[in-house]
Amino acid sequence: MIKALIIEDEGLIARQLQSRIQSVADDVNIVQILPSLKTAKAWFLNNAEPDLIFMDIQLSDGISFELFDHFQLKCPCIFVTAYDEYALRAFKVNGIDYLLKPVNAEDLKRAIDKARSMIQSVGSTSASMDDFMKSMHAPDRSQKLYKEKFVVSVRRTWVPIPSGNIALFLKDSVIYIYTMDGERYVTDYVTLDEIEELLDPKYFYRTNRQSIVHIDAIKSIKPMENQKLVLTLRAPANTEQDVSREKAPAFKRWWDR
């Protein structure tokens, strides 16, 4: 029997998910439904890790990814969420599948079958879960897909910003998106590193620790005496970004191609 948790802050959705799990996999036993990040943290402090977790991402008191900052969880996780923008981040932790609400029974069964295979494989061999996870998630560089849009919140409404319309990602206290027409939006990403992995390097360049620019947003480049470069961007209007002396040669090859 596979012992599993559900972490979901909407009670009705949690119960519906539990019922659907039982209908497609009678060997999965839901030992607990946890309605918040706080209760999940308390549960992991006082209980052994389950075999499998079904996890929503946006909970009422935070983002469920925080659990991986507090606990060294090794069990596979099936993420069940209403939003698609967290997929890459989910697979960076223990995610083996990413299901969008409302959950399709066939997709759910396929995800559970994958989890079952992992659990059985880890139980019958000496290979660690870490090695297994790496083999499951090894990227196919020849078919890498880049993010087509970033979803932002505007007055409690989710709005898609096409990647091609993004002039600049700028990290301050939070990470901002500036569009080609100068609009500014707040993202929920924590680091520019994770954003950089989502972007097509043909069009975007990490100029420094605080910014990533789109090639079409660059209005002009001024070489300085110390060999660094100063970029003037079209959007936000006449904003300047520095490229260090060390990165300048690689940047020039990228821009002048």
pLDDT in tens, 137-166: 544 444 567 889 998 888 878 889 999 999
Shortest CA distance to 115 belongs to which of 226, 206, 24? 24
In a domain, 46, yes or no: yes
33 with 14, same domain?
A: yes
CATH of residue 52's domain is 3.40.50.2300
Residue 56 pLDDT grade (very low, low, confident, very high; cuts 50, 70, 90): very high
Is the pLDDT at 110 greater than 70, yes or no? yes
Shortest CA distance to 144 belongs to which of 91, 206, 80, 79? 91
Is the pLDDT at 83 greater than 60, yes or no? yes
In a domain, 143, yes or no: no
> DSSP letter at 103?
P
206 with 127, same domain?
A: no
26 with 85, same domain?
A: yes
Instruction: Report the predicted TM-score, pTM, of the whole model to 2 decimal places.
Output: 0.50
Of 91, 106, 138, the residue at which a domain comes to its end is 138
Position 128 scores a pLDDT of 47
d(CA 217, CA 204): 10
What's the structural domain count of the chain? Answer: 2
Give the phi and the psi of residue 70 in degrees, each rounded to 5.
-105, -25
Of 111, 138, 165, the residue at which a domain comes to its end is 138
225 with 119, same domain?
A: no
CATH of residue 176's domain is 2.40.50.40
* Residues of the domain holding 232: 149-255
Give the phi and the psi of residue 50 in degrees, each rounded to 5.
-75, 180
185 with 100, same domain?
A: no
109 with 175, same domain?
A: no
d(CA 1, CA 12): 25
6 with 131, same domain?
A: yes
Q: What count of Cα atoms within 13 Å lies in the side-chain half-sphere of residue 205?
A: 21
pLDDT for 201-226, tens place per residue? 999 999 999 999 999 999 999 999 88
125 with 39, same domain?
A: yes
d(CA 231, CA 149): 25
Position 166 scores a pLDDT of 96
**Over pLDDT 70: what percentage of the chain?**
90
190 with 216, same domain?
A: yes
Position 141 scores a pLDDT of 47
Ordered alpha helix ranges (H), the chain: 11-24, 37-46, 66-70, 87-92, 105-124, 129-137, 192-198, 248-255
126 with 195, same domain?
A: no
Shortest CA distance to 203 belongs to which of 164, 242, 230, 237? 164
Angle in degrees, CA 226, 231, 235, rounded to 5: 160
Of 116, 138, 160, the residue at which a domain comes to its end is 138
Q: What count of Cα atoms within 13 Å lies in the side-chain half-sphere of residue 16?
A: 11
The residue that leads in pLDDT, 45 or 86, is 45
Position 32 scores a pLDDT of 94
User: 103, 81 in Cβ contact below 8 A?
Assistant: no
133 with 169, same domain?
A: no
Average pLDDT of the chain is 86
Position 143 scores a pLDDT of 53
In a domain, 177, yes or no: yes
The residue that leads in pLDDT, 69 or 131, is 69
93 with 13, same domain?
A: yes
